[in-house]
């Protein structure tokens, strides 16, 4: 195989850079339970929300033993809600023309 024949695959991060969105002033993603007794702190193994989200909305802060939700990064795919083993994520679609502006093609 010649080096010229190798196809360069665009990274997820690079593809996310092509999206346009209008940031909502209000969070549209919330943890139903947060704090020390939340299942994502005390019971959840692996915290799938922190690994499945392509936009890195969820971050585990080990020092503070909490999941931080950066809702501004959300691309509204719904993967976090589907994979949370404790159904602890409340995800609503942003209203009023806010959120991701998807394009066809």
| pLDDT tens for each residue of 14-42 | 777 778 888 888 899 999 998 888 888 88
Say if CB 86 and CB 39 are below 8 A apart.
yes
pTM for the complete prediction?
A: 0.78
| pLDDT tens for each residue of 37-80 | 888 888 898 899 999 999 999 999 989 889 999 999 999 999 99
Residue 96 pLDDT: 84
Number of Cβ within 10 Å of residue 70's Cβ equals 14
Average pLDDT over residues 79-86: 93
84 contact partners, CB below 8 Å, separation of at least 6: 48, 49
Say if CB 75 and CB 54 are below 8 A apart.
yes
Partnered with residue 89 across adjacent β-strands are: 31
Domains observed in the chain: 33-89 (3.30.70.20)
């Amino acid at each position: 195989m010649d080096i010229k024949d190798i196809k360069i695959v665009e990274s997820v991060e690079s593809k996310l850079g092509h999206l346009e969105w209008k940031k909502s002033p209000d969070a549209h993603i919330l943890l139903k339970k947060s704090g020390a007794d939340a299942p994502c702190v005390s019971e959840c193994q692996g915290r799938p929300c922190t690994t499945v989200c392509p936009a890195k909305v969820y971050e585990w802060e080990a020092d503070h033993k909490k999941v931080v939700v950066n809702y501004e990064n959300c691309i509204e795919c719904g993967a976090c809600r589907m994979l949370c083993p404790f159904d602890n994520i409340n995800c609503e679609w942003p209203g009023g023309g806010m959120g991701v502006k998807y394009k066809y093609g």
